[in-house]
């Protein structure tokens, strides 16, 4: 086509401006004239509400006179077209001027629909469309106190934001039963309403306005069909748009029954020399009221003039935006109206998040989605929907919190009221306040809030929160494990391994300072055990252990200890059950079966621990490591041996796995499980390492956990043979032991890895770091040097000296008392002890050294 062709563009909104730029690229020598009906050139209508936040009209401009001049584009502002003479190919303006065209492009956009409500034409009854409209709203707001938007769609909520930013008490009146009824389902609309009302905008749904009359307290009163009313000083109509097609009607171009200039796939009207793009165009019965489809039309029309073959084939109407600061996303068939459609929903009421995906009947394709409060998944979901990407095996994983959503799992995700330390009822707000008041170190925060000074279960979360808050304030966050070592746990691990350091004193002398503390000592003890697997109560190591490791048992609230023999895979013989029963009966221990398929014996006095363990070891039991940061249990179902659904021997595999890793010391406790089929009776997908049988082998899951912040494990590898399964677990566990932070669970560790699960797969399966052989060898060394710590302890008289209640006396602690309940013995309460002191008869026992009851 001749580049000197005369092209007239009627309309200089966002789409008209985009067309001009595209056209100049396709036709460098074309004679282009742009007609803008407004007193200025194109500006950004999407961000109009920012006008009330301080932006000027110039700030919103998309182009300038100088820019158009540099493109060789003529332009006229305040230029309204009166009619089009298709025969002579002329456009006549209202001021009498006329322009000749070879090709005419109508980018006239749309106009606001004002419902035919009596009283809608009064002063201070306005629309929200142009900068001039904003100036009128601003002038009216200066004389008003209350403002009402009629319309609760996208534009209506933007208009409500404008009123709020203008300082008015803002209301939204919507005829439909919910906000954004086109884009959102009922659940999303409900949450959006809650969030917007929480921001100070009143929402009134299901309201049909019958008339606007004079008000009593305000300028006007909106009277609704249901008899209710709402008074306001300003009415802002935002009830939808209508295509600006009057010129097309005058020129006898084809228009739709309900408006819109009919176009074909090239965006040509019924006259092939006239194009229509944007909100004025009707393609296959549809008006596209978003900017992106308009831009697509502009590119097609500009390309067609340059003999391009691009076609407009419809456009995705998905949208992601912030309404009054609330993140909202809508994709495709958000309402699930497609035949056979299924949906998954996730809602987090405390955080104000609602997510829904709509999938096809075969659960293979994403049809639509709704996101309110958190649109971080929008881009991923949009790609699934637009490209027909096959969904993962568990489609719900696309909207559930996962390791890829670090903000959703970190300290920032918690509200200020969240309890961080349940022992001392310390909230996030308490911690933030402590930092604001000058506590700029973890130790100082602990000191003034007492957080993490109880059970210590919140220590990792507390550190993450303190580091996050300090970083926000521009404070350098050091990763030093404590004041005695200017290294992280990972760096200390490498120093111990590379320099073959065997003791804490050696490490302190070479790389630390001072005497050490209750942070670095247990951490180094764990590092030494992971590397060299020496007896933790050896003279060089015993002083590093915490209370539980010092006595190889968990201390309970009354000063007694628990005894937990290992029961690999949960399998136990009747003879061993009898022994446990006999020991429990002899020492009158409270007996309970745990969730990890073991038997806990509670109430053992420290001086009785060696005697109890001697009897258990003689019967073939080993320590269960319930006291250590190490492997606790490997839970199993009965598998193919007994279960009619089982496809693999889950018990045998669980026993083998537990026996392999039972001596491994790690940054945090580790739990595993093996299920014999996908019915998942062993709950493997909630464990640090989970194994599920398939008819082809084993599926491996990693980095799940229960506890304070439960996390579903991630599928790591599928259909593995047993040897490969063990190799992957070897590598995974040793990589975790090497690189995790102090007291960091596998789930939190995974979140901290750059690249997350994909990176972990590259390291473990793909051996991207070349460490596979080294990790396997190191694990084999741990396996080969295993020792039952209790068996070693009772074989040494020196070790046994440790197990005394008092250093200078053999008598037991008289304060340890028990009462009988449900046929077992439990610790006496303070009240019960007082009653005993006052000689009031209650069933009570006090164990002496010969285990006789008093």
DSSP string, 406-455: HHHHSGGGS-TT-EEETTTTEEHHHHHHHHHTT--SHHHHHHHH-TTSSS
The annotation status of 788 as a binding-site residue, yes or no, is no
Structure tokens, 29: 């020598």
Report the DSSP beta bridge partners of residue 93.
Answer: 81
The three-class DSSP label of residue 213 is strand
CA dihedral for 399, 403, 406, 407, sign (positive or negative): positive
The single-letter DSSP state of residue 542 is: G
For residue 72, give every residue at least 6 positions away whose Cβ sits within 8 Å of its Cβ, in sequence order, or none: 24, 32
For residue 307, give every residue at least 6 positions away whose Cβ sits within 8 Å of its Cβ, in sequence order, or none: 1
The annotation status of 643 as a binding-site residue, yes or no, is yes
Residue 322 has a CB neighbour count (10 Å cut-off) of: 11
Q: How far is CA 217 from the centre of its chain?
A: 46
Residue 729 CA to residue 731 CA, distance in Å, equals 5
Residue 157 CA to residue 583 CA, distance in Å, equals 71
Residue 317 has a CB neighbour count (10 Å cut-off) of: 17
First to last CA, the chain: 109
The annotation status of 637 as a binding-site residue, yes or no, is yes
Residue 468 CA to residue 475 CA, distance in Å, equals 10
Residue 140 CA to residue 124 CA, distance in Å, equals 6
Q: What angle do CA 167, 145, 324 make, to 5 degrees?
A: 35
For residue 545, give every residue at least 6 positions away whose Cβ sits within 8 Å of its Cβ, in sequence order, or none: 521, 522, 525, 536, 537
Residue 763 has a CB neighbour count (10 Å cut-off) of: 20
Residue 774 has a CB neighbour count (10 Å cut-off) of: 13
Residue 81 CA to residue 246 CA, distance in Å, equals 10
Closest CA to 674 of 696, 706, 652, 642: 652
Query: Under a CB-based contact definition with an 8 Å cutoff, are residues 285 and 266 in contact?
Result: no
Which positions make up the binding site for siroheme? Answer: 681
Residues marked as binding? Answer: 637, 643, 677, 681
Binding-site members for [4Fe-4S] cluster are: 637, 643, 677, 681
């Amino acid at each position: 086509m001749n580049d000197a062709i005369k092209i007239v563009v009627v309309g200089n909104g966002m789409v008209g401006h985009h067309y001009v730029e595209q056209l100049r690229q396709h036709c460098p020598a074309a004679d282009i004239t742009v007609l803008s009906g407004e007193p200025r050139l194109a500006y950004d209508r999407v961000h109009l509400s920012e006008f009330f936040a301080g932006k000027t009209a110039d700030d919103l401009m998309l182009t300038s006179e100088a820019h158009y001049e540099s493109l060789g584009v003529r332009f006229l502002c305040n230029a309204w077209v009166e009619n089009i003479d298709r025969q002579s190919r002329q456009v006549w303006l209202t001021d009498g001027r006329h322009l000749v065209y070879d090709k005419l492009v109508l980018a006239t956009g749309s106009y606001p629909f004002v419902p035919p409500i009596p009283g809608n034409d009064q002063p201070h009854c306005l629309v929200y469309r142009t900068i001039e409209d904003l100036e009128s709203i601003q002038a009216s707001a200066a004389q008003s106190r209350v403002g009402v938007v009629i319309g609760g769609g996208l534009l209506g909520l933007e208009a409500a934001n404008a009123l709020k930013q203008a300082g008015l008490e803002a209301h939204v009146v919507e005829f439909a039963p919910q906000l954004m009824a086109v884009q959102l389902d009922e659940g999303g609309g409900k949450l959006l309403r809650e969030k917007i009302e929480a921001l100070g905008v009143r929402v009134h749904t299901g309201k049909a306005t019958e008339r606007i009359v004079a008000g009593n307290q305000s300028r006007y009163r909106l009277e609704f069909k249901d008899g209710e009313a709402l008074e306001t000083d300003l009415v802002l109509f935002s009830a939808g748009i209508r295509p600006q097609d009057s010129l097309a009607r005058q020129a006898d171009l084809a228009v739709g029954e309900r408006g819109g200039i009919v176009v074909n796939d090239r965006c040509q009207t019924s006259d092939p020399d006239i194009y229509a793009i944007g909100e004025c165009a009707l393609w296959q019965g549809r008006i596209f009221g978003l900017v992106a489809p308009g831009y697509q039309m502009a590119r097609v029309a500009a390309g067609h003039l340059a003999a391009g073959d691009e076609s407009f084939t419809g456009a995705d109407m998905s949208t992601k935006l912030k309404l009054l600061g609330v993140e909202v996303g809508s994709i495709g068939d958000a309402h699930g109206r497609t035949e056979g459609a299924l949906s998954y929903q996730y809602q987090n009421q405390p955080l104000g998040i609602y997510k829904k995906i709509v999938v096809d009947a075969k659960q293979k394709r994403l049809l639509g989605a709704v996101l309110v409060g958190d649109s971080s998944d929008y881009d991923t979901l949009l790609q699934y929907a637009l490209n027909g990407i096959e969904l993962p095996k568990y489609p719900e994983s696309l909207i559930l919190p996962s390791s890829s959503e670090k903000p959703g799992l970190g300290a920032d995700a918690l509200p200020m009221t969240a309890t961080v330390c349940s022992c001392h009822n310390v909230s996030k707000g308490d911690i933030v306040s402590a930092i604001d008041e000058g506590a700029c170190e973890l130790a100082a925060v602990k000191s003034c809030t007492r957080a993490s000074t109880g059970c210590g279960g919140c220590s990792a979360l507390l550190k993450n929160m303190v580091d996050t808050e300090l970083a926000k304030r521009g404070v350098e966050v050091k990763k030093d494990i404590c004041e005695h070592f200017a290294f992280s746990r990972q760096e200390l691990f490498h120093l111990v391994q590379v320099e073959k350091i065997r003791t804490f004193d050696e490490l302190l002398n070479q790389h630390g300072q001072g005497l050490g503390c209750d942070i670095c000592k247990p951490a180094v003890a764990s590092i030494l055990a992971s590397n060299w697997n020496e007896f933790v109560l050896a003279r060089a190591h015993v002083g590093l252990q915490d209370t539980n490791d010092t006595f190889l048992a968990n201390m309970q609230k009354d000063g007694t200890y628990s005894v937990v023999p290992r029961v690999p895979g949960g399998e136990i013989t009747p003879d061993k059950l009898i022994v446990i029963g006999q020991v429990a009966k002899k020492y009158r221990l409270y007996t309970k079966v745990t969730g990890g398929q073991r038997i806990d014996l509670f109430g053992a006095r420290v001086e009785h621990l060696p005697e109890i363990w001697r009897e258990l070891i003689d019967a073939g039991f080993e320590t269960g490591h319930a006291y250590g940061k190490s492997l606790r249990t490997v839970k199993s179902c009965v598998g193919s041996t007994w279960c009619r659904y089982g496809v693999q021997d889950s018990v045998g595999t669980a026993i083998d796995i537990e026996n392999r890793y039972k001596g491994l010391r790690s940054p945090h406790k580790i739990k595993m499980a093996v299920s014999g089929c996908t019915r998942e009776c062993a709950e493997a997908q909630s464990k640090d390492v989970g194994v599920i049988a398939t008819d082809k082998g084993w599926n491996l899951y990693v980095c799940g956990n229960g506890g304070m912040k439960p996390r579903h494990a991630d599928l790591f590898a599928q259909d593995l043979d047993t040897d490969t399964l063990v190799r992957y677990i070897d590598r995974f566990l040793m990589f975790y032991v090497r690189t995790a932070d102090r007291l960091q669970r596998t789930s939190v560790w995974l979140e901290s890895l750059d690249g997350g699960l994909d990176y972990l797969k590259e390291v473990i399966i793909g051996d991207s770091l070349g460490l596979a052989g080294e990790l396997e060898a190191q694990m084999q060394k741990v396996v080969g040097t295993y020792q039952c710590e209790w068996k070693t302890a009772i074989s040494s008289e020196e070790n046994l000296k440790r197990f005394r209640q008092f250093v200078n006396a053999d008598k037991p602690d008289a304060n340890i008392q028990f009462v009988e309940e449900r046929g077992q013995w439990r610790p006496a309460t303070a009240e019960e002890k007082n009653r005993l002191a006052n000689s009031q008869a209650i069933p009570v026992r006090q164990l002496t050294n010969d285990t006789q009851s008093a």
